[in-house]
Chains A and B, each alone.
Chain A
Amino acid sequence: MSHKKQFSDQEINDLFSEVEIPLEKDKDLVWSEKFESLVKEDAVAPSKKPTVFKLYWQYGIAASFVLLLASTFYFSSQNTVLEEANLLEIAPDTEQDLLADQTMIESLFVEDNEFDEWFEEQYVLSSVN
């Protein structure tokens, strides 16, 4: 009769501590080859960056947009004022305009050879009036 010994929990834990998984390369060597320069570079680089003033470009874009809208609105209202002023300026002296229009229409019915005589008559009439 043979009896196989039962592993206790403690034995299992002790045996696990003896499990061997060898490593080919030393971790200090890996550090010096791969990480040392990387960590040093990054340690130096941040000092070159400005820390006093931080640009928030999103706010800049938003502010530009608001400025654009405001200026569009302002100039648009200015144009409206100007247009109204122009309307007042060019508001016709109705009587004179009507007279000018009438003369122009009449001139269409005047023969070419009679035009000069007709034109002199109109000049005299308008001077008298």
Chain B
Amino acid sequence: MTAKDFKMIYDLHFDDLRRYLIFRSGNQDLSGDIAQNVFMRVWTKKIEIGSGNIKSLLFKMATDEFISHIRKKKVEKEYTDSIDIRLTQEPDTDDDLSDNKQRFEKALNQLPEKQKITLMMNKMQGLTHKEIAEILNLSQKAIEKRIRLAMETLKPNRNHV
């Protein structure tokens, strides 16, 4: 891997990786450190990355390091729950739109942790079910089930009389 290729991969994926880690840990510094360590290892160990699996490999390495960090520090309680999700709120927006966003935020944050993480990886990071399964060491069916359940929860149809 040349320096130019490495820089290109860095530019494409570094921020996404950090956002994923911030979502998982709620800690900016930790996320930055883990993301840097991942890219440092890719460069120093000359890990050859195929054209099709760059992102999932980076996410897998980051996830493994994050879990390893939790085990070492024994602060599992602190990192069990991911951060609450916030949507950008622009001023002077339509009240209905704002109301929608708030409902969506609330529904997302009330999802079970595993469903929330899986859904975020799929919707925000653009990872496929197969890639998420590899990163989280689960079967593809398990991932599909989590996403399906999460989507069903997000699409309530409650009628109040």
Q: Give the residues in chain A near B100, CB-CB below 8 Å.
A: 5, 7, 11, 15
- CB of A52 closer than 8 Å to a CB of B: no
Instruction: Give CA–CA (A20, B85) in the complex, Å.
Output: 7
Do the beta carbons of B43 and A38 come within 8 Å of each other?
yes
State the interface size on chain B (CB cutoff 8 A): 40
User: Which candidate, A26-34, A55-63, A76-84, is the interface stretch facing chain B?
Assistant: A26-34
Do the beta carbons of B86 and A38 come within 8 Å of each other?
no
Do the beta carbons of A21 and B19 come within 8 Å of each other?
yes
- CB of B87 closer than 8 Å to a CB of A: yes
- CB of B22 closer than 8 Å to a CB of A: yes
- CB of A54 closer than 8 Å to a CB of B: no
Q: Give the residues in chain B near A20, CB-CB below 8 Å.
A: 86-88
Secondary structure at chain B's binding surface: helix, strand, loop or mixed?
A: helix
Write the B78-97 contact mask toward A (1 if CB under 8 angstroms, else 0).
00000101111000000000
- Closest B residue to A6 by CB, please name it: B157
- CB of B76 closer than 8 Å to a CB of A: no
Within 8 Å by CB of A27, from B11, B28, B160, lies: B11
Distance (whole angstroms) from the CB of B67 to the closest CB of chain A: 20
Do the beta carbons of B123 and A12 come within 8 Å of each other?
yes
Do the beta carbons of B123 and A25 come within 8 Å of each other?
no
Instruction: Give CA–CA (A21, B11) in the complex, Å.
Output: 18
Distance (whole angstroms) from the CB of A1 to the closest CB of chain B: 5
Write the A59-79 contact mask toward B (1 if CB under 8 angstroms, else 0).
000000000000000000000
Within 8 Å by CB of A19, from B6, B86, B107, B159, lies: B86
Write the B17-41 contact mask toward A (1 if CB under 8 angstroms, else 0).
0110011000010001000100110
Do the beta carbons of A39 and B6 come within 8 Å of each other?
yes
- CB of A113 closer than 8 Å to a CB of B: no
Distance (whole angstroms) from the CB of A42 to the closest CB of chain B: 7
Contact A18 B88, CB 8 Å, known A4-B158, A30-B36, A34-B36: yes
Do the beta carbons of A27 and B14 come within 8 Å of each other?
yes
Do the beta carbons of B19 and A12 come within 8 Å of each other?
no
- Closest B residue to A39 by CB, please name it: B3
A residues bordering B, Cβ < 8 Å? 1-9, 11-13, 15-16, 18-21, 23-25, 27, 30-31, 34-35, 38-40, 42-43
For the complex of A and B, 3 pairs with smallest distance between CB atoms:
A16-B123, A21-B19, A39-B3
A18-B101, A35-B40 known; 11 other A-B pairs, CB under 8 Å?
A5-B100, A6-B155, A11-B100, A12-B123, A13-B123, A21-B22, A30-B36, A31-B7, A38-B43, A39-B7, A42-B3
